[in-house]
């Protein structure tokens, strides 16, 4: 029962923080819009039927039944058709695509009241439009920055220590997939020398090893050489003799991750191998490390978004086939909730682990919202930003050529594409929902 309650609590935390993140995203749009004089008629978290709402001034604030997004409604999002006066409502045309554009203009015009002619979004300057539309994603970036900052400064990041976590029984090739030692596999040097889990490596070859990188460098550099190492065991220091074995091991990058070739095989090099793995501990980082850490997380998320079509194919292969879900791939809201539940309920997690993992999960979710909303396609915020920048470019070209100001970009013409993108996004959400149910990413293995 306790595990069920903890699981439920983890899911509820995600729901509450996600709703708050969406609400703050929309506030990021609303505050500058009102500051610039645009009339904002609605601020809503969720879609579908309204569960609660309250009008304050000229804006209705509310919560809707489907908590999968949010929106604010600004009047005059779409300018009238070229040549039409503000508030003009055209008759429907016979073209399906043209009708979509005219319907959007009709709804936009119907929201206007007498005196609203200069309180419409489309009359804002290009810089102000960009500020309004970037306000939402920027709010998610700020939330992600704060949550991830609390995680790495207040709790820390996993760091390898000089205490041995495990000792290999034998030496296997880096390219081998075997999980057990064979009769012909040589014994691991550390095992042969008597190194035990829990030992802290104090020095190697007479050189102090305060950090794990010092241990690793010494092992790799002393292949085939009998070397004395000092380990601390149960408060006493012992001197052992080890001879690192020259073997092919994976090349590691700056983040201690194996470097892969294009065919997903390891890039290897001949180095010394001892057969020990370090324990990890959480080490708080300085405040100055937060910007770099957030930038790195943002860059990684952008890489996933850039490869989104391929990632979604992988999700489909896992959902409808036998492929495994990529733990670093795309995950839906249900999957995020499931991970939060597992973080809160799995007994192997300490309280510190739970807090750090939850902060990382929620901070990463906001970074993902920031990056995803910058995609320059309608109806995402990046699409509106792209439209505003196109408008600014047109005006500058007209000014340089001595032509009449072409006016605001008629983004209503993009409504067919907008609907197509919206349908695609709904389809992606449905696929992720299905995959998160039938083939979830799990911490249970």
| Residues tagged active-site | 26
H or E stretch covering 189 = helix 189-193
- List, in order, residues 6 or more apart from 402 with CB less than 8 Å away: none
- List, in order, residues 6 or more apart from 178 with CB less than 8 Å away: 172
CA 366 centroid distance within chain? 7
379 cis-preceded (ω within 30 degrees of 0): yes
- Contact yes or no for 346/145 (Cβ under 8 A): no
- Contact yes or no for 135/29 (Cβ under 8 A): yes
How many CA atoms does the CB half-sphere of 157 hold within 13 Å?
Answer: 12
Q: Which two tokens stand for residue 128?
A: 């102000």
- Contact yes or no for 251/259 (Cβ under 8 A): yes
Q: Tell me how far apart the alpha carbons of residues 303 and 100 are, in angstroms, rounded to a whole number.
A: 34
Q: Which two tokens stand for residue 443?
A: 């911490």
Q: Tell me how far apart the alpha carbons of residues 355 and 362 are, in angstroms, rounded to a whole number.
A: 11
CA 84 centroid distance within chain? 44
Token look-up 């079509």 returns 309
Residues across the chain: 445
Q: What are phi and psi of 273, to 5 degrees?
A: -130, 130
Three-state DSSP class for residue 393: helix
Positive/negative CA dihedral, 173, 176, 178, 183: negative
Nearest-5° angle of CA 404, CA 408, CA 410? 120
Distances (CA, A) of 426 to 89, 281, 332: 30, 41, 12
Closest CA to 415 of 92, 96, 109: 96
For residue 393, the tally of other CB atoms under 10 A from its CB is 12
SS (H, E, C) 210-238: CCHHHHHHHHHHCCCCCEEEEEEECCEEE
Three-state DSSP class for residue 22: helix
- Contact yes or no for 421/378 (Cβ under 8 A): yes
């Amino acid at each position: 029962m306790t595990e069920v309650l903890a699981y439920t609590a983890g899911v509820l935390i995600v729901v509450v923080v996600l709703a708050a993140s969406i609400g703050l995203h929309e506030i990021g749009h609303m505050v500058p819009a009102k500051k610039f004089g645009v009339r904002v008629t609605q601020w809503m978290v969720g879609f579908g039927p309204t569960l609660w709402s309250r009008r304050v001034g000229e804006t209705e604030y509310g919560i809707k039944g489907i908590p999968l997004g949010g929106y604010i409604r600004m009047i005059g999002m779409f300018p009238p058709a070229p040549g039409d006066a503000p508030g003009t409502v055209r008759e429907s045309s016979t073209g399906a695509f043209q009708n979509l554009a005219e319907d959007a203009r009709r709804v936009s015009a119907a929201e206007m009241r007498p005196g609203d002619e200069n309180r419409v979004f489309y009359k804002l300057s290009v810089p102000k439009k960009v500020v309004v539309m970037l306000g939402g994603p920027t709010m998610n970036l700020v939330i992600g920055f704060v949550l991830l900052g609390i995680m790495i400064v207040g709790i820390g990041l996993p760091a390898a220590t000089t205490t041995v976590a495990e000792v290999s029984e034998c030496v296997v090739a880096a390219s081998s997939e075997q999980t057990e030692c064979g009769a012909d596999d040589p014994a691991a040097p550390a095992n042969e020398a008597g190194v035990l889990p829990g030992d802290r490596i104090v020095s190697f070859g007479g050189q102090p090893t305060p950090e794990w990188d010092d241990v690793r460098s010494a092992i790799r550099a002393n292949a085939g050489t009998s070397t004395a190492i000092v380990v601390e065991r149960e408060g006493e220091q012992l001197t052992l003799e080890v001879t690192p074995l020259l073997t092919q091991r994976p090349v590691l990058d700056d983040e201690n991750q194996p470097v892969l070739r294009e065919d997903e095989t390891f890039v290897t090099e001949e180095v010394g191998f001892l057969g020990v793995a370090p324990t990890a501990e959480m080490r708080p980082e300085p405040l100055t490390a937060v910007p770099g850490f957030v930038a790195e997380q943002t860059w990684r998320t952008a890489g996933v978004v850039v490869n989104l079509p391929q990632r979604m194919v992988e999700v489909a292969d896992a959902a409808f086939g036998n492929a495994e879900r990529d733990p670093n791939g795309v995950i839906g809201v249900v999957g995020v909730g499931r991970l939060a539940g597992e973080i809160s309920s799995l007994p192997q997690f300490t309280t510190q682990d739970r807090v750090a993992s939850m902060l990382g999960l929620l901070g990463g979710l906001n970074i993902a919202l920031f990056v995803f909303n910058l995609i320059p396609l309608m109806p995402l915020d990046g699409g509106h930003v792209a439209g505003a920048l196109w408008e600014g470019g047109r005006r500058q070209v007209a000014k340089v050529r001595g032509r009449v100001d072409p006016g605001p970009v008629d983004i209503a013409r993009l409504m067919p594409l907008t609907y197509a993108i919206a349908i695609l996004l709904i389809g992606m959400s449905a696929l992720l929902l299905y995959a998160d149910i039938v083939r979830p990413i799990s911490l249970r293995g």
